[in-house]
Amino acid sequence: MKEQIKIQNYYSMKRFIPILITALFSTLSFAQVAHFPIVSDFGGIYEIEDAVLPNAEMEYKIVIDLKTLQRDKESINPGLNNVARMMNLHGIGGVKAENLDVAIVIHGSATDVIIDNEAYQKRYELDNPNIALIAALKKAGAQVYVCGQSLLARQYARDEVNENVDVALSMLTTFTTYVHNGFAPLVFN
């Protein structure tokens, strides 16, 4: 009887192993490495086989209204990282960096992402995790603005603004000017 059970277990295992190997290789084929074609080190994205891609010959003009609150002050702002993702998605889709014109207008609850490290440390006793991301966005060609009205409302001094960020009169005037000049508007809540 014991020998019969051993034989049955052997044949069950023999049938199970190919199923296990197939499942393992199927899982591994989906495991991918993140790509950063336009914004280095931020906004990692993945290739999708047989996907509809953006028009690589087209010039994209995009203005982003960024007001996403960063609840965890130790982590990068999710909306700001999403800008990097959006730029990298265009890049992996074949759009060259020079055909991607992006402006980010930061205001409201997101305003604290643009302060320099010293000011961030004073307020939160932490290093500002967004400094490297803003520098990477700027290096990739994005224009980064902060609403001057939001700076005043949150009592930030102008000299506390990150050197890679331009102070605008307001989000409203900057955003509408870009839209009037043919930029597609996106809102990141």
Q: Tell me the pLDDT tens digit for each residue of 12-26.
A: 555 656 554 555 444
The answer to whether 143 and 166 have CB atoms below 8 angstroms apart is yes
* Residue pointed to by tokens 């074949």: 94
- Statement to judge: residues 123 and 65 lie in one domain: yes
Distance CA 107, CA 65 (A): 8
pLDDT recorded at residue 104: 98
Is residue 166 in a domain?
Answer: yes
pLDDT recorded at residue 5: 56
- CATH number where 101 lies: 3.40.1260.10
pLDDT band at 27 (very low <50, low <70, confident <90, very high): very low
Query: Percent of the chain beyond pLDDT 90?
Result: 80
Distance CA 90, CA 41 (A): 16
How distant, in Å, are the alpha carbons of 70, 99, 112 from that of 141? 24, 10, 22
* Nearest alpha-carbon partner for 171 in 110, 128, 101, 130: 110
Between 183 and 9, the more confident residue is: 183
What is the maximum span of the chain, computed from C-alpha positions, in angstroms? 87
The stretch 119-138 carries a mean pLDDT of 97
- Statement to judge: residues 69 and 118 lie in one domain: yes
With 0-12 / 13-18 / 19 or more C-beta atoms within 10 angstroms meaning exposed / middle / buried, residue 52 is exposed
Is residue 66 in a domain?
Answer: yes
Domain total in the chain: 2
Q: Which two tokens stand for residue 11?
A: 């044949």
Distance CA 137, CA 42 (A): 9
- Statement to judge: residues 94 and 182 lie in one domain: yes
pLDDT in tens, 51-72: 999 999 999 999 999 998 888 9
- Statement to judge: residues 23 and 105 lie in one domain: no
Distance CA 105, CA 184 (A): 13
Is residue 41 in a domain?
Answer: no
pLDDT band at 29 (very low <50, low <70, confident <90, very high): very low
Is residue 37 in a domain?
Answer: no
- Statement to judge: residues 160 and 111 lie in one domain: yes
- Statement to judge: residues 93 and 154 lie in one domain: yes
- Statement to judge: residues 6 and 90 lie in one domain: no
- Statement to judge: residues 91 and 143 lie in one domain: yes
pLDDT recorded at residue 28: 46
Is residue 179 in a domain?
Answer: yes
- Statement to judge: residues 70 and 159 lie in one domain: yes
Distance CA 161, CA 117 (A): 9
Is residue 55 in a domain?
Answer: no
pLDDT in tens, 143-177: 999 999 999 999 999 999 999 999 999 999 999 99
Domain that holds residue 157: 60-188
The stretch 105-120 carries a mean pLDDT of 96
Q: Which residues pair with 36 in a beta bridge?
A: none
Is residue 70 in a domain?
Answer: yes
- Statement to judge: residues 104 and 172 lie in one domain: yes
Is residue 180 in a domain?
Answer: yes
